[in-house]
């Protein structure tokens, strides 16, 4: 069993959903682990923003992999790498699977879109032909020596297609070997997710389902689990918090000409030492050996 399969089974045994959180570097991976999350979402939006570029396929596959590996090194949590639509055609998808597996990434989440990469909440998302996408999934699963956990991410509802189309896609992707499905929705309520999960249950498909409650935050992890989600991905809340906190801090320093008003609300330097593991540094001699 892969690590993600193991923790999914354990969570199912405990009658709960996995809690997965978006991180984009070593520090946010450490914070995710300390907060008690089950796994890390190495998301394209967060990683792109950390590089100061839009989530639009600007970074290369190897840049995205390097950042996922940086997170893996910083913590013990399994890493689920968001690989957009696979970074290119099926041959590139195959190489992606090899590289990610060799680097020790636990799982990849690949989405059924085509055309220029755009974040799902940005207009103009174009769907991939479901059979072409299913083939990509099977190619990842068949890559020699890889044990990547593959989440097939369905964008049909985001793109305005019918629930029937989303469910047909789900069946195809599971048949192609997907270990789990992710269903994305931009609705402000959980109704669409509810319908998808019950529709899938009616087809006797027992694939784990991941959901991404960005636009429906009022649905908590327990409710999502009751509806049928095996995992909940909080993809961008960490990055959004960072933006608010750092923006506020920088503005306050500019306004007051000092950090004094902020001192009680920002982390101490000692906390930074603690988070980075500085307290476990080995002693060195006076000559630095």
Q: Does 49 bind ligand SPV (CB under 6 A)?
A: no
Q: At 51, list the tokens.
A: 């590089």
Tell me if residue 106 is catalytic.
no
Q: At 60, list the tokens.
A: 């290369």
Compute the half-sphere exposure of residue 30: CA atoms within 13 Å on the CB side of its CA.
Answer: 13
Q: In the set 98, 119, 138, 276, which binds ligand SPV (CB under 6 A)? A: 119
Span near ligand SPV by CB under 6 A; candidates 40-48, 61-69, 144-152, 272-280? 40-48
Inter-CA distances, 146 with 11, 91, 246, Å? 24, 15, 39
Place of tokens 């991410």: 153
Q: Taking CB positions, which residue lies at the least distance from ligand SPV? A: 43
Q: Does 212 bind ligand SPV (CB under 6 A)?
A: yes
Q: At 186, list the tokens.
A: 């931009």
Residue 79: beta bridge partners? 40
End-to-end CA distance of the chain: 43
**Complex with ligand SPV: residue 16 or 118, whichever CB lies closer:** 118
Residues 6 or more apart from 23 whose CB is under 8 A from it?
29, 31, 32, 40, 41, 42, 46, 71, 238
Residue 193 contacts which entry, ligand SPV, Mg ion, none (Cβ below 5-8 A, type-dependent): none
What's the closest the beta carbon of residue 260 comes to Mg ion, in angstroms? Answer: 39
What's the closest the beta carbon of residue 111 comes to Mg ion, in angstroms? Answer: 7
Residue ranges in contact with Mg ion by CB under 5 A: 44, 82
Residue 230 contacts which entry, Mg ion, ligand SPV, none (Cβ below 5-8 A, type-dependent): none
Span near ligand SPV by CB under 6 A; candidates 12-20, 38-46, 60-68, 98-106? 38-46
Which of 95, 42, 102, 34 shows the shortest CA–CA distance to 72?
42
Cα separation, 247 vs 236, in Å, equals 16
Site residues for ligand SPV, window 69-108 (CB under 6 A)? Answer: 82
Cα separation, 176 vs 11, in Å, equals 25
Compute the half-sphere exposure of residue 109: CA atoms within 13 Å on the CB side of its CA.
Answer: 29
Q: In the set 18, 37, 40, 55, which binds ligand SPV (CB under 6 A)? A: 55
Residue 185 contacts which entry, Mg ion, ligand SPV, none (Cβ below 5-8 A, type-dependent): none
**Complex with ligand SPV: residue 25 or 252, whichever CB lies closer:** 25
Residue 268: how many CB atoms within 10 A of its CB? 10
**Complex with Mg ion: residue 11 or 96, whichever CB lies closer:** 96
Interface residues with ligand SPV (CB under 6 A) are 22, 43-46, 55, 82, 119-120, 212, 214, 235-236
The residues assigned a catalytic role are 55
């Amino acid at each position: 069993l892969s690590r993600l399969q193991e923790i999914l089974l354990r969570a199912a045994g405990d009658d709960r959903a996995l809690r997965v959180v978006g991180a984009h570097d070593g520090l946010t991976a450490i914070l995710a682990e300390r907060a008690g999350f089950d796994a890390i979402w190495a998301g394209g939006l967060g990683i792109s923003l950390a590089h100061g570029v839009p989530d639009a396929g600007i970074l290369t596959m190897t840049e995205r992999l390097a950042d996922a590996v940086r997170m893996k090194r910083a913590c013990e949590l399994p890493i689920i790498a968001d690989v957009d639509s696979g970074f290119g055609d099926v041959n590139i998808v195959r190489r992606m699977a090899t590289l990610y597996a060799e680097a020790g990434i636990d799982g990849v989440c690949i989405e059924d879109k085509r055309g220029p990469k755009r974040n799902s909440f940005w207009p103009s998302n174009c769907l991939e032909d479901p059979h072409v996408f299913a083939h990509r999934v099977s190619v990842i699963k068949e890559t020699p020596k890889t044990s990547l956990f593959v989440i097939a991410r369905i964008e049909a509802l985001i793109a305005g297609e019918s629930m029937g189309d989303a469910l047909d896609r789900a069946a195809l992707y599971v048949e192609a070997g997907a270990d789990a499905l992710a269903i994305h929705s931009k609705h402000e309520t959980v109704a669409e997710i509810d319908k998808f999960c019950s529709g899938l249950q009616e087809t006797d498909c027992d694939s784990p389902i991941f959901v991404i409650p960005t636009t429906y935050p009022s649905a908590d992890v327990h409710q999502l689990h009751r509806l049928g989600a095996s995992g909940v991905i909080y993809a961008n809340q960490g990055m959004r918090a960072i933006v608010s906190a750092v923006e506020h801090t920088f503005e306050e320093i500019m306004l007051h000409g000092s950090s004094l008003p902020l001192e009680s609300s920002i982390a101490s330097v000692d906390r930074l030492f603690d988070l980075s593991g500085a307290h476990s540094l080995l002693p060195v001699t006076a000559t630095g050996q």
